[in-house]
Amino acid sequence: MNVLLIGPPGSGKGTQGKRLADLLSLEHLATGDLLRAEVDAGTELGRKAEEIMADGELVPDSVIIDLVMPKVRAANNRNGYLLDGFPRSVDQAVEARRLAEEYDATPDAVIYLDVPRDELKRRILARAESEGRIDDNEETVTNRLRVFDEATAPLVDYYRDRGLLHTVDAARTEDEVTESILAVLPKT
């Protein structure tokens, strides 16, 4: 099974991604974690990404696709993937779909985690404080949500039009959100 989790920053993609990947024996691919690993390793891609992420902007499509798609293909060849944080734009989705079709790795379902804005800001700032994440502050959070609205929100329509989208109220407890997601996933 291949599943995409989309939603604004702070909607619980990472938390639900880990939980669902464990429950379903899927490989959890989190683009934010993959990018931070590149930054920590000091790679050329990491240095480019660090400056862009510090401003709350999106890393260019070509860089993200080159980073993520080989991992998607490898996970698909094993037991499947649970991908969170990618794609972030319709352009990324179109290119990722083209590549995924080449090796029969398209998603079986897309879960949109829906959370009110005030709750998103509260969650992100609380996470920044507890985890010491320098890329999450009031100004950056506001910008990240703006960027999401401009670039990522159209994905909801893109995946709805393809019959893949399931919207889940992610403002509830982690267990309730997980149960709601499991209820809408295709049975394999």
How do residues 30-83 score in pLDDT, each as one tens digit? 988 888 888 899 998 888 888 887 776 777 888 889 889 988 999 999 999 999
Residue 16: its pLDDT value, please? 96
* Domain made up of 3-181: CATH architecture: 3-Layer(aba) Sandwich (3.40)
DSSP for 51-86, written as a single string: HHHHTTPPPPHHHHHHHHHHHHHHHHHTT-EEEES-
Give the global pTM.
Answer: 0.86
How confident is the model at residue 188, as a pLDDT?
63
Q: Which of 68, 32, 70 is nearest to 52 (CA)?
A: 32
What pLDDT, on the 0 to 100 scale, is given for residue 128? 83
Phi, psi at residue 111, to the nearest 5°? -105, 125
52-62: per-residue pLDDT in tens? Answer: 877 767 778 88
User: For the residues of 94-149, what is the DSSP string, one character each?
Assistant: HHHHHHHHHTT---SEEEEEE--HHHHHHHHHHHHHHHT-TT-SHHHHHHHHHHII
* H/E segment holding residue 10: none
